[in-house]
Amino acid sequence: MKGTARQANFLLPEDLLAELRNSVPKGEQSRVVAEALRRELKRLRLVKAIETSFGAWRDEDHPELREGADAYIRQIRKSTRARRAV
């Protein structure tokens, strides 16, 4: 665990607590729960970032991509090859 640890009191469904106790040694249960909580909090932050950034990309800001990213990349590569050939 990072930093100092503090005790917290959570209610867990009985089946989940039983599976934790049966699957994880007693001295590692807090670490397992903390890691699972970190992963879930990270996932929630990513979901929030996706939701808040939706609509940030506007087609009118990127007219060079109007015909698609593949066409744009082909054009860039073509111009780069032409410069190298000189």
The position carrying tokens 């073509």 is 78
**1 pLDDT higher than 60:** no
- Cβ pair 64, 72 in contact under 8 A: yes
- Cβ pair 10, 17 in contact under 8 A: no
**For 66, which DSSP code?**
T
The ranges assigned to domains in the chain are 11-54, 58-86
For 5-63, the pLDDT digits (tens) are: 999 999 999 999 999 999 999 999 999 999 999 999 999 999 999 999 988 888 888 99
